[in-house]
A and B are shown apart, each in its own frame.
Chain A
Amino acid sequence: MDKVEKTEVVLLACGSFNPITNMHLRLFELAKDYMDGTGKYRVIKGIISPVGDAYKKKGLIPAHHRVIMAELATKTSCWVEVDTWESLQKEWVETVKVLRHHQEKLEAGHYNQQQNSPVQEKPGRKRKWTEQRQNSTQKKPPEPNPKGVPKVKLLCGADMLESFGVPSLWKSEDVTHIVADYGLICVTRAGSNAQKFIYESDVLWQHQGNIHLVTEWISNDISSTKIRRALRRGQSIRYLVPDLVQDYIQKHDLYSTESEDRNLGVTLAPLQRNTGEAES
């Protein structure tokens, strides 16, 4: 089944995950089905990278809570995991640097793997689950890809794509880097104007071969903002976030009117940095 020519892909999702919802988790499932379905790619891993506290977004609760919730949410996934590197940095880190970090990590791991025994069981937390799988084709440890190191690609919703157009939120060279060197997988609603957005941007248009638009046929609008609002109003968020996440939120009473005022009036880190640099 697995053809040698397939490029191995790692999906990286950056964001607040404040809190993580079933919508975030669906993005991964849809993107993997799409990429595997092209016949050219094989998605081997998904990484959730919650943003650090220095991002200074309004209502952003401490990163360790957001990381734990993401870990609870991915407990039942055999291929998506959480990475804390970004959230542990003191300063806010540009998304392109997070991509670079993970690509370098993969390269280091790849060469280590080649030096060691060729059939090495992949270390990690998903091992137990792998052993339980009935499907023999997936039971095999990932073989060293003869074509090279797996490629990290940025997974996002249409809102992130459109945020490329917000002044000072992204450095234009970073956007170029992301689409030219890594690639974008963007899950969009049926009838969205993502296509138009790409058409209207010269950089995105030029690299559209590296941008994959995945259509989500059923509306999925479970935004974290709505989850926090429901929690403030004492409404149920059941079946919108994984049960374990809901339990954790309740146990630690994470979202309230007070928490929503965190970073109130503070300028978002990217805006601070990008406009500051422009002025100096």
Chain B
Amino acid sequence: MKNRIPVVLLACGSFNPITNMHLRLFEVARDHLHQTGMYQVIEGIISPVNDNYGKKDLVPSHHRVTMARLALKTSDWIRVDSWESEQAQWMETVKVLRHHQNQLLRSATQMEGLDPGKAPSDRAAAPELKLLCGADVLKSFQTPNLWKDAHIQEIVEKFGLVCVSRAGHDPKRYILSSPILCKYQHNIQLAREPVLNEISATYVRRALGQGQSVKYLLPDAVIAYIKNHGLYMTDNSQKGRSTQGN
């Protein structure tokens, strides 16, 4: 274990709302990285996107951050970080990575400062920050004007990518069709979720709007929060509510 490279996984996205599928991404990615024998995952960070992202149906970030926090209450290694959501503007994913990299470097130097007697070789290596994503993100790299090439390059060159694929996606293909991803494919880890898992937040919002049960698709604490704050309720959804169970 000692020689393993410490890794921090960062997931960016709407988390509107967070579902069990988002949480599974972390578990599957960590298992995969540990399986390689090269890495030790020490932390996972969920960074809900800023309200100015302008996506349709996006509920205010304080709700999305709170829901993620509730969902992560039972996790001993994943936490939510509200920095991205608190910025005045939407920001590119690469800038969020830079911010967290700086945070990690800062806390690493602080730890060294506390222990000046340590020889440089004994120092714990600064953890590597990697972007955790689903195969859909890898695919979205090909969408014109969605990502800047320079940013894609920085993500795979300076940081690295851990991509968890769902059934039906062929992440290898997306890599091979992109010269940048090809060049840095040693920095791209492909993990596979063994169970089909398609709990998209879009589906969850639709089911909530229709007054249908979403239990066991997201943590109970998140469902209770959604109900208490009347989130994702469309006007005509009220009709079906009285017949709905928990």
Contacts and interface: CB of A to CB of B under 8 A. Distances in A.
Interface of A: 1, 22, 25-26, 29-30, 32-33, 36, 76-79, 135, 137-138, 217-223, 226, 229-230, 235-236, 238-240, 242-243
Contacts of B244: 33
A219 B31 contact: no
Contacts, number: 75
7 contacts: A1-B242, A1-B243, A29-B213, A222-B195, A236-B30, A236-B31, A242-B216
Nearest to B25: A239
Contacts of B94: none
B212 interface: yes
Interface stretch (B102-110, B148-156, B197-205): B197-205
A236 B20 contact: no
A137 to B, nearest CB: 5
Contacts of A229: 194
Given A135-B241, A135-B242, 20 more contacts: A1-B242, A22-B20, A22-B217, A25-B216, A26-B217, A29-B215, A30-B213, A33-B213, A36-B243, A78-B245, A218-B217, A220-B198, A221-B195, A222-B197, A223-B195, A226-B194, A229-B194, A235-B31, A236-B27, A238-B23
Contacts of B27: 236, 238-239
A253 to B, nearest CB: 19
Interface string B176-200: 0000000000000000001111111
B216 A217 contact: no
B58 interface: no
B246 A78 contact: yes
Contact of B74 (A1, A217, A243): A243
Nearest to A29: B213
Nearest to A80: B245
B28 interface: yes
A25 to B, nearest CB: 5
A236 B194 CA distance: 11
B216 A29 contact: yes
B194 A230 contact: yes
B20 A32 contact: no
Nearest to B245: A79
A240 B203 CA distance: 18
B196 A220 contact: yes
A239 B195 contact: no
Contacts of A137: 242
4 closest pairs, A vs B, by CB? A221-B196, A236-B27, A29-B213, A219-B196
B42 interface: no
Chain B interface size, as a band, is 20 to 34
B86 interface: no
B99 interface: no
A221 B31 CA distance: 19
A221 B197 contact: yes
Contact of A226 (B28, B30, B195, B243): B195
B24 interface: yes
Contacts of B215: 25-26, 29, 77
Contact of B213 (A32, A217, A240): A32
B38 to A, nearest CB: 17
B170 interface: no
B220 A76 contact: yes
Nearest to B30: A236
A29 B245 contact: yes
Contacts of B245: 29, 32, 78-79
B167 interface: yes
A109 B242 CA distance: 27
Nearest to A36: B243
B199 A218 contact: yes
A57 B244 CA distance: 36
A22 B21 CA distance: 12
A247 B198 CA distance: 25
B57 to A, nearest CB: 18
Nearest to B220: A76
A231 to B, nearest CB: 12
Contacts of B198: 218-220
